[in-house]
């Protein structure tokens, strides 16, 4: 079956602009996670969705970051007023259930802020 998909695969934006990153999880997976991977910080958790609600937003680095999930499926991560330190690969993962189920990752969106 289809895996997790993310779009765009690459995004170059100017500092100060807003960006939206999209994640399509595996069908039937109720849990969805966003992470980011950068050279200096490794793999960091951003936010967790169970259905359409986000019980854990503790990893969002600032109020410029927000995310939503609709219909228990697609999720969008929005970064407002991008900064150069936001440059990273943003990864989405989904799981049949939260709380310890194996997570399957998408290919990521490489964000470059110039």
Partner 1 sequence: AQKVTQAQTEISVVEKEDVTLDCVYETRDTTYYLFWYKQPPSGELVFLIRRNSFDEQNEISGRYSWNFQKSTSSFNFTITASQVVDSAVYFCALSLYRRGGKLIFGQGTELSVKP
Residue with smaller CB distance to partner 1, 71 or 100: 100
How many residues does the structure list for the chain? 114
Residue with smaller CB distance to partner 1, 14 or 102: 102
- Subset of residues 41 to 70 that bind partner 1, contact rule: CB under 8 A: 42-45, 48, 50, 55-56, 59
Token pair belonging to 74: 């697609």
Distance from C-alpha of 108 to C-alpha of 79, rounded to nearest angstrom: 15
The answer for 42, left when phi > 0, alpha when psi is -120 to 50, beta otherwise, is left
> Considering the complex, what minimum distance in angstroms separates the CB of residue 81 from partner 1?
26
Q: Residues interacting with partner 1, by CB under 8 A?
A: 31, 33, 35, 42-45, 48, 50, 55-56, 59, 89, 91, 93, 95, 97-108
């Amino acid at each position: 079956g289809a895996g997790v998909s993310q779009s765009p695969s690459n995004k170059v934006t100017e500092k100060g602009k807003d960006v939206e990153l999209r994640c399509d999880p595996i069908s039937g997976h109720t849990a969805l996670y966003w992470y980011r991977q950068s050279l200096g910080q490794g793999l960091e958790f951003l936010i967790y969705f169970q259905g359409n609600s986000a019980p854990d937003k503790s990893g969002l680095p600032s109020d410029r970051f927000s995310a939503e999930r609709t219909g228990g499926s697609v999720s969008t991560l929005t970064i407002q007023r991008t900064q150069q330190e936001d440059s990273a690969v943003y990864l989405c993962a989904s799981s049949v259930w939260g709380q310890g189920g194996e997570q399957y990752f998408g290919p990521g969106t490489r964000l470059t802020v110039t």
